[in-house]
């Protein structure tokens, strides 16, 4: 089936921020009217100002607004929408929401509820992967009780990782390196999982030091045809949350890349998957890969895949949800060049990454140039609310090779200035200056090493990197006049963050 003309007349976007803006832009290009929803805190948000229509949800608290299924469905009916795009986060992987959308006669732009359920439980997904012949991390195939834990961890071998059966985002996760810490870690993980996901069940798996977190993007139509669109290296993480992503991975070769992709397609096919999804893998230092979980939605880091494949994943989601055939096979996928994404959060790097809500007094975004893209959800004068995830934009750089992509990203970051709130831009400078990152020789422990402190002082490597970053910034500003600010006895890290926050004269 090939759809001619817009697949839908009007789509409701059940989300906020940069992803809502991203979907609005795809709708406009396809000739589809976009409808936003907003809480009281987002009344003047960019996604509200850009949409063709917008509907208030009231209370800023998520459970009373963006997580309130009845309010979302009422808004869709009130604005006469035909489909709902959930974005990511909030209700995107809520099988109950997808089912209610389907039952209401609307189209859910994502996988069917049954697919979300099948892959939503990490233990069920692990079992499905094992049944499909895809290697999984050694560990439990179902949740474990406190009584079973000691025997199971003894068989797996320390260190182990306790993980919440439901949910994600690093919540309900604990690394355990010896038997003495097992009971307390189990109780902590279980309590946190119960509070975050209303499900306190926990399972255990082997923890690999210095591992790589690599994911594979898949697309499937309603006729069972599917492809993989390469992989994304997602190993730059802090507290299990991704901070920077790139594609292709500098760690694996073409043979492993193809095998991982084939495994991802095989597993998705086995569970009858439809629409866009991502298979997440852990790769050890010997380049053995293991299935971790599936994200049954669009990923935050999808732009890097779009940059190297020239495939608009949001448009693909929309047309596949409307019943259009995929229209191409694996032999038609030819990724080109290299892309890197930096997630820019409203967080205070110097203050343990605490959220930094508030009014954006001045905003200078990167001035473009070849290969630069900035998916932003804010504007100068907007007040970043305290209620939601502090991601404000995603800066993406593409190059013909990795070196060119890094160079373009460094240049773009030096053009990116925000005042009024703190951001993670200084951290991005630090990562891009790290010799391990530049060499493509890094793992999920990179940020821990980068920001670690020895008792009585900082790591020499950290000081050198911070000093280098400060010098680059000061050299740039020296051409137009001296920069203000105290440099006396402040640490290199603090000097770097302070220098970055100064305006270019």
CATH classification at residue 46: 3.40.50.20
Indicate if the alpha-carbon torsion angle 25, 384, 411, 448 is positive or negative: negative
Distance CA 129, CA 127 (A): 5
Q: Under DSSP, is residue 217 helix (H, G, I), strand (E, B) or coil?
A: strand
Please identify which residue in the block is written with the tokens 């808004």: 75
Mean per-residue pLDDT, 117-135: 93
Answer whether residue 367 is part of any domain: yes
Kindly state whether residues 52 and 184 are assigned to the same domain: no
Q: Under DSSP, is residue 400 helix (H, G, I), strand (E, B) or coil?
A: coil
Q: pLDDT averaged over the chain?
A: 89
Answer whether residue 215 is part of any domain: yes
Q: Under DSSP, is residue 16 helix (H, G, I), strand (E, B) or coil?
A: coil
Q: Give the residue from 159, 186, 206 where a domain finishes.
A: 206
Answer whether residue 280 is part of any domain: yes
Closest CA to 283 of 318, 251, 330, 243: 251
Report the half-sphere exposure of 425 (CA within 13 A, side-chain side): 28
Contact 390, 345 (CB under 8 A): yes
Q: What is the predicted pLDDT for the residue at 117? A: 93
Kindly state whether residues 411 and 320 are assigned to the same domain: no
pLDDT at 501 over 50: no
Q: Which residues contact 140 (CB under 8 A, 6 or more apart)?
A: 123, 152, 203, 204, 205
Kindly state whether residues 23 and 127 are assigned to the same domain: no
Provide the b/e sequence for 244-278 (b: ≥16 CB within 10 Å). bbbbbbbbbeeebbeebbebbbebbeebebbbbbb
Q: Model confidence at 249, in pLDDT bands (50, 70, 90)? A: very high
Q: What is the pLDDT of residues 454-472, one digit of tens each?
A: 323 444 344 444 444 544 4
Kindly state whether residues 485 and 362 are assigned to the same domain: yes
Q: Give the residue from 336, 356, 376 where a domain finishes.
A: 336
What's the chain's length in residues?
505
Please identify which residue in the block is written with the tokens 């035909």: 82
Kindly state whether residues 354 and 463 are assigned to the same domain: yes
Answer whether residue 5 is part of any domain: no
Q: What is the predicted pLDDT for the residue at 75? A: 98
Q: Which of 201-210, 350-359, 485-494 is predicted least confidently?
A: 485-494
Query: For residue 139, what are the CA distances in angstroms to 72, 136, 239, 415?
Result: 39, 8, 21, 46
Residue 484's CB is within 10 A of a number of other CB atoms, namely 10
Look at the chain and report how many structural domains it folds into.
4
Contact 495, 466 (CB under 8 A): yes
Q: What is the pLDDT of residues 261-297, one digit of tens each?
A: 999 999 999 999 999 999 999 999 999 999 999 999 9
Contact 297, 219 (CB under 8 A): no
Pairing relationship of beta strands 83-85 and 457-458 according to DSSP bridges: unpaired
Kindly state whether residues 197 and 217 are assigned to the same domain: no
Contacts of residues 479-483 at CB distance under 8 Å and 24 or more positions apart, as own/partner, are: 480/504, 480/505, 481/505
The pair of three-digit structure tokens given for residue 1, joined into one six-digit string: 């089936």
pLDDT at 327 over 80: yes
pLDDT at 196 over 70: yes
Q: What is the pLDDT of residues 384-420, one digit of tens each?
A: 999 999 999 999 999 999 999 999 999 999 999 999 9
Answer whether residue 3 is part of any domain: no
Kindly state whether residues 355 and 440 are assigned to the same domain: yes
The pair of three-digit structure tokens given for residue 390, joined into one six-digit string: 């502090």
Q: Model confidence at 151, in pLDDT bands (50, 70, 90)? A: confident
Provide the b/e sequence for 370-389 (b: ≥16 CB within 10 Å). ebbbbbbbbeeebbbbebbb
Answer whether residue 2 is part of any domain: no
- The DSSP bridge partners found for residue 291 are 136, 281
Biggest CA pair distance of the chain: 68
Kindly state whether residues 300 and 410 are assigned to the same domain: no
Kindly state whether residues 149 and 283 are assigned to the same domain: no
Indicate if the alpha-carbon torsion angle 286, 291, 292, 294 is positive or negative: positive
Q: What is the predicted pLDDT for the residue at 113? A: 97
Q: Model confidence at 143, in pLDDT bands (50, 70, 90)? A: confident
Element (H, E) at 238: strand 226-238
Determine the distance from the C-alpha atom of residue 308 to the mean position of all C-alpha atoms in its chain, rounded to a whole number.
18
Residue 359's CB is within 10 A of a number of other CB atoms, namely 12
Helices 113-120 and 95-103, axial angle in degrees (round to 10): 170
Closest CA to 275 of 437, 102, 417, 392: 102
Q: Which residues contact 489 (CB under 8 A, 6 or more apart)?
A: none
Domain at 153, CATH number: 3.30.1490.20
Give the residue ranges of DSSP H helices in 372-418: 402-414
Q: What is the predicted pLDDT for the residue at 3? A: 61
297 an active-site residue? yes
Q: Of these residues, 174, 257, 274, 297, which one is catalytic? A: 297
Q: What is the predicted pLDDT for the residue at 86? A: 98
Give the residue numbers spanning the domain of 154: 138-206
Q: Model confidence at 2, in pLDDT bands (50, 70, 90)? A: low
Q: What is the pLDDT of residues 221-248, one digit of tens each?
A: 999 999 999 999 999 999 889 999 999 9
Provide the b/e sequence for 7-27 (b: ≥16 CB within 10 Å). bbebbbbbbbbbbbbbbbebb
Kindly state whether residues 500 and 360 are assigned to the same domain: yes
pLDDT at 154 over 90: no
Q: Which residues contact 54 (CB under 8 A, 6 or more apart)?
A: 35, 36, 37, 38, 48
pLDDT at 492 over 60: no
Distance CA 333, CA 229 (A): 7
Kindly state whether residues 36 and 125 are assigned to the same domain: no
Residue 453 or residue 157, greater confidence:
157
Kindly state whether residues 56 and 174 are assigned to the same domain: no
Distance CA 73, CA 134 (A): 38
Closest CA to 336 of 260, 402, 277, 413: 402
- The DSSP bridge partners found for residue 312 are none
- The proportion of the chain whose per-residue pLDDT surpasses 90, expressed as a percent, equals 77
Distance CA 361, CA 501 (A): 12
Answer whether residue 1 is part of any domain: no
| Cα R_g (the chain), whole angstroms | 23
Distance CA 310, CA 304 (A): 10
Mean per-residue pLDDT, 213-224: 97
């Amino acid at each position: 089936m090939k759809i001619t003309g817009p697949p839908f007349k009007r789509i409701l976007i059940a989300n906020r921020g940069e992803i809502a803006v991203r979907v609005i832009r795809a709708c406009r290009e396809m000739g589809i009217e976009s409808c936003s929803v907003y809480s009281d805190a987002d009344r003047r948000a960019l996604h509200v100002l850009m949409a063709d229509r917008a509907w208030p949800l009231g209370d800023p608290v998520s459970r009373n607004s963006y997580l309130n299924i009845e309010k979302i469905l009422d808004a869709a009916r009130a604005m006469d929408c035909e489909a709902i795009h959930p974005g990511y986060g909030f209700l995107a992987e809520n099988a109950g929401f997808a089912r209610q959308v389907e039952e209401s006669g609307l189209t859910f732009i994502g996988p069917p509820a049954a697919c979300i359920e099948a892959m939503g439980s990490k233990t069920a997904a692990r079992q499905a992967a094992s049944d499909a012949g895809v290697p999984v991390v050694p560990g439990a195939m179902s949740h474990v009780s406190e009584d079973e834990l000691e025997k199971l961890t003894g068989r797996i071998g320390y260190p182990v990782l306790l993980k919440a059966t439901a949910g994600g985002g690093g919540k309900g996760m604990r690394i355990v390196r010896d038997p003495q810490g097992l009971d307390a870690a189990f109780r902590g993980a279980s309590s946190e999982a119960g509070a975050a996901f209303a499900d306190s069940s926990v399972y255990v798996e082997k923890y690999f030091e210095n591992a790589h977190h690599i994911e594979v993007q898949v697309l499937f139509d309603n006729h069972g045809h599917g492809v993989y669109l390469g992989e994304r290296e997602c190993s730059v993480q802090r507290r299990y949350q991704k901070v920077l992503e790139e594609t292709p991975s500098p760690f694996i070769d073409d043979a492993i890349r193809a095998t991982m992709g084939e495994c991802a397609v095989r597993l998705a096919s086995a569970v009858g998957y439809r629409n866009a999804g991502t298979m997440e893998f852990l790769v050890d230092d010997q380049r053995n890969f293991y299935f971790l979980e599936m994200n049954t939605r669009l990923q935050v880091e999808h732009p890097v895949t779009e940059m190297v494949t020239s495939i608009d994943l949001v448009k693909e989601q929309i047309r596949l949800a409307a019943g259009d055939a995929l229209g191409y096979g694996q032999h038609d996928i030819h990724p080109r060049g290299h892309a890197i994404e930096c997630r820019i959060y409203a967080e205070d790097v110097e203050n343990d990454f605490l959220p930094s809500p508030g009014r954006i007094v001045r905003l200078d975004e990167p001035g473009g140039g070849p290969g630069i893209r900035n998916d932003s959800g804010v504007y100068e004068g907007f007040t970043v609310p305290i209620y939601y995830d502090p991601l404000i934009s995603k800066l993406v750089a593409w190059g013909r090779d990795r070196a060119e992509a890094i160079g373009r990203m460094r240049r773009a970051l030096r053009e990116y200035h925000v005042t009024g709130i703190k951001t993670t831009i200084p951290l991005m400078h630090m990562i891009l200056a790290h010799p391990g990152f530049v060499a493509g020789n890094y793992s999920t422990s990179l940020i821990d090493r980068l920001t670690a402190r020895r008792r009585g002082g900082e790591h020499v490597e950290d000081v050198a990197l911070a000093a280098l970053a400060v010098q680059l910034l000061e050299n740039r500003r020296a051409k137009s006049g001296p920069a203000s600010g105290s440099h006396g006895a402040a640490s290199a890290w603090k000097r770097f963050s302070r220098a970055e926050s100064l305006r270019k004269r």
